[in-house]
C-alpha cells in the first residue's frame, strides 16, 4: 500500500485549477515533501528537478537576459554534482515553458523544483520568470520545494509577495505513523515520526545511527550552518544536544544555559540559535504565557523537540529501558504532546507554557480569543494538577484539559490538531 499524506489533496486541488499562484511546499527534512509531490505529479504532464541530479552551467553570455525566454538555447557545460545556479533554473523553466505551450487547450504543465533555497538569487529569478508567464497567461504550474523554512520564507516575503500559496508540511503524526508503518503508541512516543527511520526500529543501534547521521547532522550542517550565518557553530550544536538531552521538556533560563556551554556568548546569541533550530524543525523554546507579549519575550524558554526521535536517539536508553524509567518516559510523553502541538499549530494558534512557582501548566494554547491550559500525565510529573486551577483563577475563560490518566487519552489527543482544542 502506498501511503499518501493529507496535504496531497490540497496539492491536487490547486493543480486542477488554472495557474494563478506558485505552490510552495515547505517543511523540515525527511518528512516526505519530495515523495508527496512526486505522487501528485504522476497524474500530470510534468518535470521534477531533483536536488541530486543538478549540474552547474557555464556563465551566461552578457547578451543573454536570464529573465527572458531562452528557447533558442545556450551552450553549457554540465558538471554532475555541482551546485545549481541561476542559469540552471532559467534553463529548466525555459524547457517547461516549451512543454506548456505544447499542451492541448485546457491542460497545464507542471514544473517542480526541489530544494529551491540552494539556488543563488532564486527568489528574484523566479519572480522575473513567473511574472513573464502570467503576462502571457501560460498554462504552467510551478511548485517550489524547500527544507529550510526560514530561508524559503525570506525569499518569499522579499520578492514573491502575492505570487504564491503555501502548503506547509511537518513531522508525521501518530495516526500517520500508525497507518503507514503499524506503529503502536509506545513506538511513536520513543521512535517519533520520521518515516525514513520506521523500518529500522527493530534494530535500535542502526536506527540510532540513522537518526544521528542521516537526520540530525544534515539538518544542522546543511540546513543551518551552510545556509545562514552562524558565528559559533559548536555552540549551536551543543545547544541542540542539551535541549534534546538533559533539558528536554524543561524550562531553562538563558543564564543557566550559558553556565552549561563553552564559549556561550550572550543571551541574544542563544535565543537566535534556538530560533534557527526551531525554524529547521528540530528544537523550540516555548515562551511563558503572561497575557503580555513583552513579558513573553523576556521569559525563560521551555525546550521541546519537534520530534521525539531526536530525544531518544541522543539518550542512552533503549526503548525497553526508557519504558522502565518513569521519569524519562514521562518526559517523552510530555515532549510527544508538545511536539504534536508545535507541528499542528496554525498561524493563529500559539503554543506556550505557564509557571509561577510552585505552580505550572505544561502547555497553554492561545488564539487571541480562547485559552486552553493542558496538563500531561505520563509518568513522574514535574507539576501538580493544582496548576490548572491556579491558572484558571488568574486568567478568564480558560478551558482546562488533562491529557492522560483522568482526562483525554493520549491517543485521542494526538488524533486532532492543536486548533481543535480551542473550538
pLDDT in tens, 101-116: 999 999 999 999 998 9
Residue 129 pLDDT? 97
pLDDT digits (tens, 9 = 90+) for 231-251: 999 999 999 999 999 898 999
**Which residues, 6 or more positions from 296, have their beta carbon under 8 angstroms from its beta carbon?**
287, 288, 289, 290, 352
Mean pLDDT of 344-362: 91
Whether 108 contacts 23, CB under 8 Å: no
Q: Residue 223: is its pLDDT beyond 90?
A: no
Task: Report d(CA 414, CA 421) in Å as an integer.
Answer: 11
Q: pLDDT confidence of 126, banded at 50, 70, 90?
A: very high
pLDDT digits (tens, 9 = 90+) for 40-80: 999 999 999 875 444 434 333 333 344 444 444 433 444 55
Residue 74 pLDDT? 37
pLDDT digits (tens, 9 = 90+) for 244-282: 998 989 999 888 888 888 766 788 899 999 999 999 999
What's 7-168's CATH class?
alpha beta
pTM: 0.88
Q: pLDDT confidence of 382, banded at 50, 70, 90?
A: very low
Domain boundaries, the chain: 7-168, 174-422
Amino acid at each position: 500500500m502506498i501511503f499518501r499524506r493529507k496535504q496531497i489533496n490540497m496539492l491536487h486541488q490547486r493543480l486542477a485549477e488554472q495557474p494563478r499562484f506558485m505552490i510552495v511546499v515547505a517543511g523540515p527534512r525527511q518528512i516526505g515533501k519530495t515523495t508527496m509531490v512526486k505522487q501528485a505529479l504522476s497524474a500530470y504532464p510534468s518535470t521534477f528537478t531533483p536536488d541530486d541530479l543538478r549540474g552547474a552551467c557555464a556563465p551566461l553570455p552578457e547578451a543573454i537576459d536570464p529573465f527572458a525566454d531562452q528557447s533558442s538555447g545556450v551552450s553549457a557545460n554540465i558538471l554532475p554534482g555541482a551546485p545549481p545556479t541561476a542559469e540552471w533554473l532559467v534553463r529548466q523553466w525555459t524547457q517547461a515553458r516549451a512543454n506548456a505551450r505544447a499542451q492541448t487547450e485546457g491542460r497545464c504543465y507542471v514544473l517542480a523544483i526541489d530544494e529551491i533555497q540552494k539556488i543563488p538569487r532564486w527568489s528574484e529569478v523566479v519572480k522575473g520568470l513567473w511574472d513573464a508567464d502570467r503576462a502571457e497567461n501560460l498554462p504552467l504550474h510551478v511548485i517550489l520545494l524547500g527544507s529550510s523554512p526560514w530561508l524559503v520564507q525570506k525569499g518569499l516575503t522579499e520578492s514573491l509577495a502575492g505570487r504564491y500559496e503555501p502548503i506547509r508540511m511537518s513531522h508525521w503524526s501518530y495516526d500517520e505513523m500508525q497507518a503507514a508503518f503499524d506503529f503502536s503508541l509506545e513506538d511513536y512516543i520513543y521512535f517519533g515520526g520520521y518515516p525514513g527511520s520506521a523500518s529500522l526500529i527493530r534494530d535500535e543501534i542502526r536506527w540510532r545511527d540513522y537518526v544521528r547521521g542521516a537526520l540530525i547532522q544534515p539538518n544542522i550542517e546543511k540546513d543551518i550552518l551552510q545556509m545562514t550565518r552562524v558565528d559559533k557553530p559548536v555552540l549551536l550544536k551543543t545547544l541542540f544536544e542539551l535541549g534534546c538531552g538533559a533539558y528536554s521538556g524543561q524550562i531553562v533560563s538563558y543564564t543557566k544555559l550559558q553556565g552549561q556551554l563553552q564559549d556561550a556568548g550572550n543571551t541574544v546569541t542563544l535565543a537566535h540559535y534556538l530560533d534557527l533550530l526551531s525554524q529547521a524543525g528540530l528544537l523550540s523554546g516555548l515562551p511563558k504565557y503572561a497575557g503580555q507579549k513583552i513579558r513573553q519575550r523576556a521569559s525563560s524558554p521551555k525546550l521541546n523537540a519537534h520530534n521525539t526521535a531526536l530525544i531518544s536517539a541522543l539518550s542512552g536508553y533503549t526503548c525497553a529501558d526508557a519504558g522502565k524509567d518513569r521519569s524519562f518516559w514521562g518526559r517523552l510523553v510530555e515532549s510527544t504532546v508538545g511536539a504534536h502541538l508545535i507541528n499542528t499549530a496554525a498561524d493563529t494558534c500559539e503554543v506556550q507554557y505557564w509557571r509561577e512557582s510552585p505552580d505550572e501548566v505544561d502547555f497553554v494554547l492561545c488564539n487571541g480569543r480562547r485559552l486552553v491550559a493542558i496538563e500531561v500525565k505520563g509518568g513522574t510529573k514535574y507539576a501538580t494538577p493544582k496548576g490548572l486551577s491556579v491558572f484558571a483563577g488568574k486568567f478568564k475563560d480558560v478551558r482546562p484539559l488533562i491529557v492522560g490518566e483522568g482526562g483525554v487519552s493520549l491517543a485521542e489527543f494526538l488524533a486532532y490538531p492543536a486548533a481543535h482544542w480551542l473550538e
